[in-house]
């Protein structure tokens, strides 16, 4: 028993807690930390309020178990608990603990500390990553912020009740311990979940100034969960929306991807615009929701975006992967199409005109977002494939099928056909060509040559399995 490392870890942890209590310290704090204002949580039996433990990933369970064996407290927190209480299988699991990042890292073979503003630990189990954070303390009076109130440094550790007060919404301030089958609730999050209400912890305006991204999360939860938003939580958003412009671009891009992957992408874009948040993070929303052109062009443009976002939502709900490049290519396509037409009307040949249009759109519309180069490369290739689908004679069709982005380009072509932007005949031909054998493909190319020579057009209809073909997730 004396050699049991788990018992040794528990003894060390108990000793550290006793010392902290004697000197009035918590991890990361200075002497004199106060316990005033401490609130006790409401305790629920997890299985009694709807949490199915079988939905918890094995990696999350192993992380919790490892921290417990090390003598530390550990809880699943945030969106994972919220989703479990809503009967949904969480995509990601976050864990909160009283262990410091260094202590967490020492407990797991594959773990690394990341972050500057607030250090966290990524614990890796195969392909799954569990994000482990140390309980945060209440913000000190001399906390480092920028001129707009955004917190710049937050490496101050504290106790669980403080950590709960630092979280954004009541529904995200729940702590679930699978080992004891308990949920700790400091801010009536369970009650708000049952009422499907989104409520900010603390003063909403101050919390938005500390981290403006919280305003984007309000919009995302409105769309994704279809929750009503507490009036006090929503009222400061439009006034404080300009603060979004001071958020680092890379972080904005990550939040926008989450918004578009909410499963209610079109509703999220409308909510983003209604609250005036798009000016600072996604100005192309105006272009997407109110395209220019004739009435017929606008109708087709709106139809195209609706089909693309609906297809994305369907894939998200089915648990299928979604290509970020395809998504942004869809959102920006109508602007590319208008500029492409404009350059051709001015005398440019089709391919050079398309290159000009793409360069202009990327330069004018993507400056506000730190989109990775690979994503920009993907959407550029998807657009440049479109005129190549019209060349099908000789070996063109066979060579095009070997292109790395062929499937994404083909799915994009189907969306254009479904939206009425191109003749169905082109999409029909490619659908049949993909499904055909090599011999049949050769015959199709020969028949196409004869049809084009005679001036006749095929009348076959494309087989459709869904209103819009799903975007492919190209490697």
- Residues 93, 277: Cα–Cα separation, whole Å: 28
- Residues 167, 48: Cα–Cα separation, whole Å: 25
Q: Going by C-beta distance under 8 Å and a sequence separation of 6 or more, which residues neighbour residue 416? A: 304, 386, 422, 427
Q: Going by C-beta distance under 8 Å and a sequence separation of 6 or more, which residues neighbour residue 254? A: none
In the three-class reduction of DSSP (H, G, I as helix; E, B as strand; rest coil), residue 291 is classed as coil
Here the tokens at position 269 are: 């874009």
Query: Long-range pairs for 425-430 at CB < 8 Å and ≥24 separation?
Result: 425/457, 425/458, 425/459, 426/389, 426/390, 427/462, 428/458, 428/460, 428/461, 428/462, 429/392, 429/458, 429/460, 430/389
- Residues 441, 124: Cα–Cα separation, whole Å: 47
- Distance in Å from the first CA to the final CA of the chain: 51
**For this structure, is 423 an active site residue?**
no
CB of 160 within 8 A of CB of 135?
Answer: yes
CB of 468 within 8 A of CB of 311?
Answer: yes
Q: Going by C-beta distance under 8 Å and a sequence separation of 6 or more, which residues neighbour residue 246? A: 146, 148, 150, 212
Q: Which residue from 75, 11, 6 is spatially nearest to 44, judged by alpha carbons?
A: 75
Tokens 């959407």: give the residue.
Answer: 379
Q: Which residue from 79, 90, 174, 179 is spatially nearest to 128, judged by alpha carbons?
A: 90
**For this structure, is 411 an active site residue?**
no
The catalytic residue among 83, 94, 211, 418 is 94
Q: Which residue from 257, 145, 256 is spatially nearest to 208, judged by alpha carbons?
A: 145
**For this structure, is 83 an active site residue?**
no
CB of 212 within 8 A of CB of 243?
Answer: yes
Residue 35's Cβ-count burial label (10 Å; 0-12, 13-18, 19+) is exposed
Helix axis angle, 249-260 to 213-224, nearest 10°: 10
In the three-class reduction of DSSP (H, G, I as helix; E, B as strand; rest coil), residue 292 is classed as coil
Helix axis angle, 406-418 to 295-317, nearest 10°: 130
CB of 233 within 8 A of CB of 218?
Answer: yes
The catalytic residue among 98, 168, 411, 424 is 168
The catalytic residue among 92, 177, 314, 432 is 92
- Residues 25, 22: Cα–Cα separation, whole Å: 8
Catalytic residue positions? 92, 94, 168
């Amino acid at each position: 028993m004396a050699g049991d490392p788990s018992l040794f870890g528990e003894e060390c942890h108990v000793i550290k807690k006793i010392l902290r209590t004697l000197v009035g310290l918590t991890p990361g704090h200075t002497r004199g930390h106060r316990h005033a204002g401490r609130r006790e949580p409401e305790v629920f039996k997890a299985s009694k309020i709807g949490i199915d433990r079988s939905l918890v990933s094995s990696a999350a369970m192993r992380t919790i178990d490892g921290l417990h064996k090390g003598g530390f407290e550990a809880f699943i927190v945030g969106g994972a608990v919220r989703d479990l209480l809503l009967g949904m299988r969480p995509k990601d699991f976050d864990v909160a603990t009283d262990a410091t990042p260094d202590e967490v890292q020492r407990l797991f073979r594959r773990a690394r500390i990341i972050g500057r503003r607030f250090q966290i630990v990524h614990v890796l189990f195969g392909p799954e990553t569990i994000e482990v954070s140390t309980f945060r303390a209440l913000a000190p009076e001399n906390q480092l912020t920028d001129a707009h109130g955004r917190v710049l440094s937050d490496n101050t550790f504290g106790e669980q009740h403080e950590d709960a007060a630092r979280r954004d919404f009541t529904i995200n301030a729940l702590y679930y311990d699978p080992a004891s089958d308990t949920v700790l609730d400091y801010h009536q999050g369970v009650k708000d979940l049952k009422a499907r209400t989104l409520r900010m912890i603390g003063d909403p305006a101050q919390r938005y100034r500390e981290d403006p991204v919280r305003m984007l999360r309000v919009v995302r939860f409105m769309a994704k969960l279809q929750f009503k938003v507490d009036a006090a939580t929503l009222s400061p958003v439009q006034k404080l929306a300009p603060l979004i412009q001071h958020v680092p671009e890379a972080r904005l891009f990550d939040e926008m991807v989450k918004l578009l992957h909410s499963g209610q992408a079109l509703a999220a874009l409308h909510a983003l615009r209604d609250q005036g948040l798009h000016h600072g993070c996604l100005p192309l929303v105006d272009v997407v929701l109110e395209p220019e052109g004739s009435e017929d062009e606008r109708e087709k443009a709106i139809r195209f975006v609706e089909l693309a976002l609906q297809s994305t939502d369907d894939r998200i709900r089915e648990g299928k992967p979604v290509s970020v490049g395809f998504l942004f290519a869809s959102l920006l396509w109508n602007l590319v199409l208008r500029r492409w037409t404009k350059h051709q009307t001015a005398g440019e040949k089709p391919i050079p005109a398309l290159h000009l249009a793409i360069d202009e759109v990327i330069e004018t519309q993507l400056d506000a977002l730190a989109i990775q180069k690979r994503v920009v490369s993907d959407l550029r290739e998807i657009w440049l494939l479109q005129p190549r689908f019209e060349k099908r004679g000789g070996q063109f069709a066979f060579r095009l099928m070997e292109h790395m982005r062929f499937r994404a380009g083909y799915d994009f072509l189907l969306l254009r056909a479904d939206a009425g932007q191109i003749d169905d005949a082109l999409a029909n031909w490619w659908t049949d060509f993909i499904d055909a054998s090599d011999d049949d493909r050769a015959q199709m190319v020969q028949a196409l040559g004869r049809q084009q020579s005679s001036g006749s057009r095929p009348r076959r209809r494309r087989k459709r399995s869904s209103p819009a073909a799903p975007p492919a997730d190209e490697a």
